[in-house]
Structure 1
Amino acid sequence: MVTIPTRGVRTSGLPDIDGAPGGTLEGFGILADPLNELKPLYGFAVDNPIREHCFVPAVSGVAVREPADHADLCTPIYGLPPTESPLDDFVLASQNEEHTLIIEELSTWLLGRRP
């Protein structure tokens, strides 16, 4: 079986969450790898140039706001008044990291808040 090339699918009226600042996930890769391991005769092989995407936008992770557009997704969170988030305190990684990845930067902050 031969996979017939398809056209790209685009959306409108939605924020570009897949490229937003925040925790990432190799969601496209998680799906593509098993498909590419199937026998070629099934025709499920995929070309996957982008393996990861934003899984949790930073603005959602700290409950700053519901992202309605690109500007909301890229809100400079540390420049907002503390009342913008219901959290008492939080820290964000200085760069996008894999969702739930334990890194020194965040661990040090968390351990520094122990009683």
Structure 2
Amino acid sequence: MIEQLIAEATECDFKVALETKKPKSWLKSVSAFSNVIGRTLFFGISDDRKTIGLSDIQKDAEAISRFIKERITPLPQFILKPLQEDGKNLLALEISPGRSTPYYYKADGVVYLKTITGRW
């Protein structure tokens, strides 16, 4: 199931866990994805596509939503989807391409973009 979702995503990134102490590590991706064609960020999956899982997806989903609302401006459109693979809980953060570009990471006042090669 996850492989099919990954294949359907135009572009995607993976995060093993939700970084709440250093949210900039993944909020840069939210800003960048909002400024381009929209993409999906999977939490609970490693870069080599191994399913790791999240311990509390409800808590993580609430934190993701809160961080985006507090730290990205203007507020991008996104959907959080809980997933399960091999008995492990995951989250897919689908970020729509923005209509009100550019989208900033508020703490830096910086607009992030990602190139096709994945570089900032």
Tell me, yes or no, whether TM beats 0.5.
no
TM-score band w.r.t. shorter chain: under 0.3
Structure that is richer in helix per residue: 1
**Normalised by the size of structure 2, how large is the TM-score?**
0.24
Higher strand share: 2
Task: Give the number of the structure whose alpha-carbon radius of gyration is greater.
Answer: 1
TM-score (norm 1): 0.24
